[in-house]
Structure 1
């Protein structure tokens, strides 16, 4: 299993609290007043298709090789993606996301060593179950419960799944990089992550910008003392714990050390 820091990263995508966000065309964002769950479901489907096409080029031996998450093979990552899809079906249908943290971990470990054919079928079939649950008539303004008592709007669940698929595709280490992520996703993920760290007492007040958009995070202050600037992929990589931030420009102090997600 992964070490604690990277397991926290993987778990965070199961239980994130999100934010008012952006809508319409996958890969090109425009501001909207509320989460567009149908749009995000389409983006999940497209991201899943990309991942499945890439994984189909692998072989059984490569699944046992390490992923970019220490302690997890590529098989662990694929098993996690399949079980997360089913967990989010549980959320949409009013059941607990996971029976327990121990059961979640055991399921991933159990499924990690399966053959490529079985892994692909499981990711595809679990993704289809999630799409079916997401397309069912529902009150998308209702509140749902995720892990650890965290609650959120049902309309935000598809974006959670989109984040799972995109970032764990990168984690597989098979040629899909942060630079390949859709522009809309990078913008929205950056906005989510800076919000997640907002008000954190151990992070100095910081302005984060990709050169086009800017956000503030960390401790509350009259004005941020530190400014972090970088390309969208580098900003998200740093915020999501996928990159060390060396490609970022930092003014007004040192690059803040971010806690595990």
Structure 2
């Protein structure tokens, strides 16, 4: 069972860690490339702020974004802002998300995200936790997948495995960190391949942050995953 209150607390803790790290940067470093192709660190921070507002929209029953074009334009427009403006925006939007999450609500209701994707409202805080953790890594400022809490890595492996479950272009795959096991890909009586590795490496591969070279398989190689 999803504990949205626990996840909201985890979002807050991860956000505070992110804000502290970003506050050590300067304007010049925000213009430098992030680990995401085509995005500066400023792009990543602008996206994080706009995503917080977007998830407030989701929880309050509005469209997540006005349109895909508006989403992209808001990120582009916000990318070049100076550090103090970026920090203030991150703090204010995080506070709005937290206040929305703390308000009385039916957390079992179904909400709509982008591209017609639906989910239970109680899962939205975990989705935000993932945004904060993974994009903190994407900034390339000394926080890496190995620094992410073990609870998140385990749950994110499960979340991402579910995203690819039933996908016709992904072979039936067993994924294991040596303690936990997940299955994904095409339906099959038995997995076609088993992928094993450390939790951080598995999440890195599943989330498109690592090439999977640190993982091992019992087949001809790692399955090719579609973009998230």
- Superposition TM-score, scaled by structure 2 size: 0.99
Question: 2 CA distance for matches of 1:64 and 1:114?
Answer: 9
| Residue in structure 2 matching 1:157, options 124, 128, 149 | 124
In the alignment, the residues of structure 1 paired with residue 54 and residue 218 of structure 2 have an alpha-carbon distance, to the nearest angstrom, of 41
1:218 to 166, 185, 196: 185
Distance in 2 separating the partners of 1:258 and 1:97: 26
Written as runs of structure 1 = structure 2, the 5 A alignment for 1:66-215 is: 66-215=33-182
Offset of residue 214 of structure 1: 0.6
Aligned residue-pair number: 228
3-state DSSP class of the match of 1:54?
helix
Gaps of 5+ in 2: none
TM-score (normalizing by structure 1): 0.86
Q: Residue 89 of structure 1 contacts residue 133 of structure 1 at CA under 8 Å; is this kept in 2?
A: yes
Other structure's SS at 1:186 match? helix
Aligned-pair distance for 1:78?
0.2
Give the ranges of 4+ consecutive aligned residues of structure 1 lying more than 3 Å apart after TM superposition.
none
- Residue 32 (structure 2) aligns with: 65
Q: Residue 227 of structure 1 corresponds to which residue in structure 2?
A: 194
Question: 2: CA distance between counterparts of 1:161 and 1:87?
Answer: 10
Q: Which moved more, 1:140-149 or 1:160-169?
A: 140-149
Bigger relative CO (Cα 8 Å, ≥ 6 apart): 1
RMSD: 0.7
Q: Structure 1: which 5+ runs fail to align?
A: 1-33
Could you tell me how far 1:253 is from its partner in structure 2?
2.6
C-alpha distance in structure 2 between counterparts of 1:97 and 1:219, whole Å: 30
CA contact (8 A) 1:225 1:253 kept: no
* 2:227 paired residue number: 260
